[in-house]
Amino acid sequence: MRNKFAEVLLQLMEQDDKVVLLYADIGNRLFNKHKELAPDRVINAGIAEANMASMAAGMAKMGLKPVIYTITPFTTARNFEQIKIDIAYQNLPVTIVGTGSGLAYANLGPTHHSFEDIALMRVLPNMQVVCPCDSNELSALLPQAIASGKPCYLRIGKKNEPLINVQEPSATIGKVNIIKRGLDVCILAVGTIIDLAVELQHKLEEQGKDVQLVSFHTVKPLDSEFLLSLVNQYRQVIILEEHSKHCGAGSAIFEWQIDNNVMLNISHFAIDDKFIDQVGSTQSARIKARLCLDFILNKLKNKALVV
Amino acid sequence: MDNQLKNLRKEIRYKLVEVSHFTKTPHLGSCLSSVDLLITLYWRILNLYPDNPKHAERDYFLLGKGHAASALYTVLAYRGFFNIDKLMEHGKDNSAFEEHPGVNAPPGVEAVSGSLGHALSLATGMAKAAKIQDLGNTFYVLVGDGELNEGTIWEAAMFAPAHQLSNLVLVIDFNKLQGTGESCNIMQLEPLDEKFKSFGWFVKRVNGHCLTELEDAFNQCKLQQNKPSVVIADTIKGDGISFMEGDNNWHYRIPSQEELPIIADELGIS
């Protein structure tokens, strides 16, 4: 996904000389073409993410469209207060891209995991929170994030994520992307966890369920119209996110239910309230976090949804 | 020093005292240590358009030590950005004059402030953006010595020289006191000029209450071709009012009704 990010960004930088990239000393060779195209607009801000966020705000004040990029925890948690005051409060058009989100850097340990980032970003007024599920969806959403003229957090993966959208979808920030329509069970997948959602979809289909698969890429602003359309229509809504079960996309939907005085029949699968360590791969980290098919099917069995 | 500036130094100081007294807002000591730096910048150095505050060719001033907002508002009022009477709205409900400048701050305020250590990074980004777009503006940032405790100051202090941001001028109000103590005992600030020199900045250290020294220093900053500048201004917290000078209680204290005529007398306000 980070390669697709670099590819789409290069096109945007070619089209618009206001687009600038700041990165915190990662992405060796990833931005070589960008440097060739516009050396002035490709800035290694050093391993100084707080300064990078404020500088991006300053650049936006001067009419540029900055994109800041590094590994997710360092550009959401490390520099949170700079994002809060300089970017969100001043409502400046800075696109914050976190790469290797969730458990993508599982082997690097809790320092490099991010399952609090959606929580941190969605609590900030003015901030949009967008979690593309694959490279094709990112390709559709990145230009919109930059063109939105507002702060936007883009939560992306690392590399070699499976393509769920076979081509670039007509996805829009603030509107869900329905991958497959169905009438019985609706799976809302937030970001790159969608590969697990596809496995679950197939398992449920084997058992005769008519499953709808949705890439729920925008956590803020919520697609309220779509959520309302689910009420009384699906016997089960399943939310999957590679994020803490607290304060992420699931929580946003729970809050939405209270605000709108409606109730969906929800099963929420996310990371328990604990750090995940001693893991060598994303797959084993997901198993430790109980974001795996066996655990999910067991839970659904208890709800008599599967046999 | 000409008479205009001489009178402004007195009038603005007394207005700061009045605003603090009548609106019951603190940080008078911090305002008084900054006020001569602001007067020099706003009457001698900055390219300004008070009738058209967003003029594309203006120089930018960012206040890092947002708790000295009253000093900035007062200087802007006297410089013609808005009516001086407005200053008494300071800290009131629905007022543009918040105790720390917000997004609805009055004309002439370039950025929100209040959390220390942000303004230098913001201005560094603005200066870099100006270089990218080939713009001729200069960016001035005023920070306090306590603010130098923040790590982002030093992140920006390394970035700006690496990018040869000659359009960036940092001004340090070095009054030797921060919220609850002596700044040089809390963190190792000195030798401050050597620190910035070694980071690659053009450094001038001056008496922060001598307007001619300040003006001369800022004019030398304008001549720099390939490095950012810092003016380290040795100042006195509470400067100009004898019983406030160097007394850190005036970080928070509000002058009383009885103190007003004493202060007026000291400043030579009739």
The proportion of chain B whose per-residue pLDDT surpasses 70, expressed as a percent, equals 100
Does the beta-carbon distance from B155 to A58 stay under 8 Å? Answer: no
Q: Please, is B242 exposed, middle or buried when counting C-beta atoms within 10 Å of its C-beta (0-12, 13-18, 19+)? A: exposed
- Checking if the pLDDT of A296 tops 70, the result is yes
Asked if residue A170 lies in contact with residue A140, where contact means CB atoms within 8 angstroms, the answer is yes
Q: What is the pLDDT of residue B246?
A: 93
Q: What is the pLDDT of residue A28?
A: 85
Does the beta-carbon distance from A58 to B152 stay under 8 Å? Answer: no
CATH architecture designation of domain A177-302: 3-Layer(aba) Sandwich (3.40)
Beta-strand pair B177-178/B181-182: antiparallel
> Smallest CA–CA separation between A118 and chain B, in Å?
24
**Is the ipTM, as predicted for this complex, more than 0.85?**
yes
CA angle (A154, A156, A159) in 5-degree steps = 155
Q: Where are the alpha helices (DSSP H) in A44-86?
A: 49-61, 80-82
The residues spanned by each domain of chain B are 3-267
Residue (of A87, A232, A217) closest to A165 by Cα position = A217
Confidence of residue B1 (pLDDT cuts 50, 70, 90): low
Does the beta-carbon distance from A54 to B118 stay under 8 Å? Answer: yes
Confidence of residue B161 (pLDDT cuts 50, 70, 90): very high
- Checking if the pLDDT of B168 tops 90, the result is yes
Residue A237, phi-psi category: left (phi > 0), alpha (psi -120 to 50), beta (remainder): beta
The residues spanned by each domain of chain A are 2-155, 177-302
Residue (of A177, A168, A151) closest to A75 by Cα position = A151
The proportion of chain A whose per-residue pLDDT surpasses 70, expressed as a percent, equals 100
Q: Domain A2-155 class?
A: alpha beta
- Checking if the pLDDT of A304 tops 80, the result is no
Mean pLDDT across B145-160: 98
Asked if residue B232 lies in contact with residue B204, where contact means CB atoms within 8 angstroms, the answer is yes
Chain B residue numbers touching A62 (CB-CB < 8 A): 125-126, 129-130, 133, 135
Q: Which fold has domain B3-267?
A: Rossmann fold (3.40.50)
Distance, CA of B72 to CA of B70 (rounded, Å): 5
Q: What is the pLDDT of residue B270?
A: 78
Instruction: Give residue-wise pLDDT tens across range A162-219.
Output: 999 999 999 999 999 999 999 999 999 999 999 999 999 999 999 999 999 999 999 9
> Smallest CA–CA separation between B31 and chain A, in Å?
23
Distance, CA of A103 to CA of A109 (rounded, Å): 9
Mean pLDDT across A221-250: 97
Instruction: Give residue-wise pLDDT tens across range A81-125.
Output: 999 999 999 999 999 999 999 999 999 999 999 999 999 999 999
Residue (of B110, B169, B175) closest to B147 by Cα position = B175
Task: Tell me the whole-structure pTM to 2 decimals.
Answer: 0.97
- Checking if the pLDDT of B51 tops 70, the result is yes
> Smallest CA–CA separation between A59 and chain B, in Å?
5
B129 closest CB neighbour out of A45, A59, A89: A59
Does the beta-carbon distance from A59 to B131 stay under 8 Å? Answer: no
Question: HEC profile for B120-188?
Answer: HHHHHHHHHHHHHCCCCCCEEEEEECHHHHCHHHHHHHHHHHHCCCCCEEEEEEECCEECCEEHHHHCC
